[in-house]
Amino acid sequence: MISNDKTKITYYFFGTFIPRLISFTFLPILSFFLSKNELGEYDLFLSSLSLLIPIITLQIEEAYYRWHFENPQNLIKTVIYFSFFSHLLFLVIAITMFYYKILHLNIIFLFALFSSSFPLLFQFIARSLNKMAVYTMSAFANSFGILIVTFLLFFFKNITLNSIAVAYIISNLVTFVILIYKLQLYKIIFIGSFDYNLIKKLLKFSIPLIPNTISWWMVNLANRYIITINLGVSYNASYAVAARIPSLLILLNSIFLLFIQDIVFKTATKLKNKSEFNTIFRNYFQMQLTIAIVIVSFSKLMVNLLFSNIYSSAYKLVPLIVIGIILTNLCAFFAVFFLAEKKTPIILISTILGAILNLFFTQYTIATIGLYAPALGTAIGFLLICGIRIHYLKKYQKINLHPKPFIGLVCLFVVFSLSLFADNIFVEILFMIVSFLLFYFINKNLLQQFAKQLLNVRFK
């Protein structure tokens, strides 16, 4: 089963990692042209999008992708019609709240929000139809569109938060058109009928994911608002810069997570070859730790090279943020199995508890330890989520999670993190070289397999 899907990971590399890597460059570029306050506001703009998109979509794309493996009739037409209705409903609500002055509405932000949310479903449809080239093309178009418009703004010396939002709107609309045309959705929506019973099943699956996503946002991104309220928006810019380097680990994780999701969903509720998945987990976590060591080792250099010198001390936060991201990725990995089992309430409960712990810890310690509070709070919150999910997962999946193979790598991570504070250029260079060699030799077989698939890929 796994071998038949290996080429998908290459498409996910082109369609997920590279476009997001392009997006990764936006913050370093903007750090040279925006003030600390403006950069902090830009980060809040992105955080607000990530909070509101799941509410508008009702997470119907997640339900669609889980259900498409069971091949129900009229699935695509049903979810497209429902998605259009949900967007229209929230648009009416937003305009009504603006009219009665309940909400101070920024029209440009509203368009950026809706244009970002609608193409998500179509990308899931592309994956479900095995149109991986279309999926990849749409992702490239989106990222390159934002990059090109941003460069045009730079050329005309007109980089503001509103103009950046316009760049998002334009690139999202281009992505939207590409997906409709390439997937021929303009034909599909006229075939079959809307299935009310099916949409009820999908909503029963997806609705618990909405508070879960909000809680996930509270663990991961709500700290940005706590920082802004307690310390000021300029401090949020510093935290955003510190978090940008470790976010490379999230980008890499997104590739493997999509690949693993495809495999787990196809095997329905019980994994047929548990030893194979135990191997996947060991390779997955091993790669996470070795990449984390590389990121920590290079973080000081990357902050100094990529960002304005006013953020030169941001690297000090990187080790703690990396720990939080490793735990974030593990939580996402375990969530795949609960989604396959259609046990979304467990995902919800664990995330809510983690969110509460994170918010309380961050709020009550930020005045004392500053920006270390949100970094540590995020790590503690996701540690709790991990513990709860592992506890429930062991009840119906015999996945071995023995810590012994990873103790050495964890110790090395601590040592490499401490090396950041040596303030010795020769020590820093030595640790950067060793980290890279460590990553290569530990993951050599996986890297060779991936390189082979990369060379053999064909875009059709």
Of 153, 188, 206, at which residue does a domain stop? 206
* Residue whose C-alpha is closest to residue 314's, from 414, 220, 236: 236
At 248 the three-state DSSP class reads: helix
Task: Give the model confidence (pLDDT) of 271-307 as tens digits.
Answer: 555 566 677 777 788 888 999 999 999 999 988 888 8
Q: What is the pLDDT of residue 157?
A: 63
Is residue 27, in this structure, part of any structural domain at all? no
Task: With a cut of 50, say whether residue 112 has pLDDT above it.
Answer: yes
247 plus 186 within the same structural domain:
no
Is residue 5, in this structure, part of any structural domain at all? no
217 plus 174 within the same structural domain:
no
47-56, 96-105, 221-230, 415-424: range with lowest mean pLDDT: 96-105
Of 206, 221, 236, at which residue does a domain stop? 206
26-35, 142-151, 267-276: range with lowest mean pLDDT: 267-276
CB atoms closer than 10 angstroms to residue 356: 15
Is residue 9, in this structure, part of any structural domain at all? no
233 plus 183 within the same structural domain:
no
Task: Give the model confidence (pLDDT) of 238-257 as tens digits.
Answer: 898 888 888 888 877 777 77
In the numeric block, which tokens belong to residue 363? 């709020």
296 plus 402 within the same structural domain:
yes
Is residue 54, in this structure, part of any structural domain at all? no
169 plus 317 within the same structural domain:
no
Is residue 48, in this structure, part of any structural domain at all? no
Distances (CA, A) of 376 to 53, 202, 325, 419: 26, 36, 11, 19
Task: With a cut of 50, say whether residue 192 has pLDDT above it.
Answer: yes
454 plus 405 within the same structural domain:
yes
Q: What is the pLDDT of residue 3?
A: 45
Provide the domain limits for residue 186.
60-206
Please state, in angstroms and rounded to a whole number, the distance separating the CA atoms of residues 425 and 419.
10
197 plus 213 within the same structural domain:
no
161 plus 253 within the same structural domain:
no
At 74 the three-state DSSP class reads: coil
DSSP state of 443: S
147 plus 212 within the same structural domain:
no
Of 149, 184, 206, at which residue does a domain stop? 206
Is residue 218, in this structure, part of any structural domain at all? yes
Task: Give the model confidence (pLDDT) of 325-365 as tens digits.
Answer: 899 888 888 888 777 777 778 888 888 898 899 999 999 99
DSSP string, 1-44: -TGGGHHHHHHHIIIIIHHHHHHHTHHHHHHTTS-HHHHHHHHH
Is residue 147, in this structure, part of any structural domain at all? yes
**Statement: the pTM of the whole predicted model exceeds 0.85:** no
213 plus 181 within the same structural domain:
no
195 plus 224 within the same structural domain:
no
What's the number of domains the chain is made of?
2
Task: With a cut of 60, say whether residue 268 has pLDDT above it.
Answer: no
Q: What is the pLDDT of residue 374?
A: 93
CB atoms closer than 10 angstroms to residue 49: 16
Task: Give the model confidence (pLDDT) of 381-423 as tens digits.
Answer: 999 999 998 888 777 665 666 666 678 888 999 999 998 888 8
Q: What is the pLDDT of residue 284?
A: 80
In the numeric block, which tokens belong to residue 308? 């304005």
53-62, 252-261, 446-455: range with lowest mean pLDDT: 446-455
pLDDT classification of 139: cutoffs 50, 70, 90: confident
DSSP string, 57-82: HTTHHHHHHHHGGG--TTHHHHHHHH
Rg (CA), the chain: 22
Is residue 12, in this structure, part of any structural domain at all? no
Please state, in angstroms and rounded to a whole number, the distance separating the CA atoms of residues 179 and 175.
6
Q: What is the pLDDT of residue 267?
A: 60
69 plus 218 within the same structural domain:
no
